[in-house]
Amino acid sequence: MEKLAVTKNVRISAFKAREVSRLIQGHSAVEAMNMLSLIPRKAARLIEKTLKSAVANAENDVATPVDRQYLIVKEALIGEGPTLKRFRPKARGSAGHIRKRTSHIRIVVSDQQ
């Protein structure tokens, strides 16, 4: 049984978040939460929040609840969200482009490999 949690439009670059998400794929959910709590990055906090939501979705399922110790992080995908485009004034009247990137975090936990 698979359960899913998605967080959308998170204000972090997908490139930065993917570095952290690669570390937890294939690990048990409890081990992944412990790893994320020790990583000192903004992406780790955001992914941990989404992982906790996916675990809660699996535990509180009405049909077949699953204990968190049996759950495995099947996939942790980071997709690019919409980019906020801003400008900063530069020399001689020109403008420098600033791209404020966002991400979509998608985590799937499963009780079977």
**What is the CATH classification number for the domain harbouring 54?**
3.90.470.10
Task: Give the number of domains in the chain.
Answer: 1
Could you tell me which of 46, 16, 21, 17 has the C-alpha nearest to residue 32?
21
3 to 7, 29, 55, 78: CA distances (angstroms): 14, 12, 8, 17
Quick one: tokens of 54?
Answer: 């996916």
Counting every residue, how long is the chain?
113
State yes or no: pLDDT of 113 exceeds 70. no
Q: What is the pLDDT of residue 33?
A: 97
Q: Judge contact between 47 and 20, C-beta under 8 A.
A: yes
> What average pLDDT does this structure show over 9-18?
97
Structural domain for 77, as ranges:
2-110
The neighbour count for residue 39, using CB atoms within 10 Å, is 16
Tell me the pLDDT tens digit for each residue of 25-72: 999 999 999 999 999 999 999 999 999 999 999 999 988 899 999 999
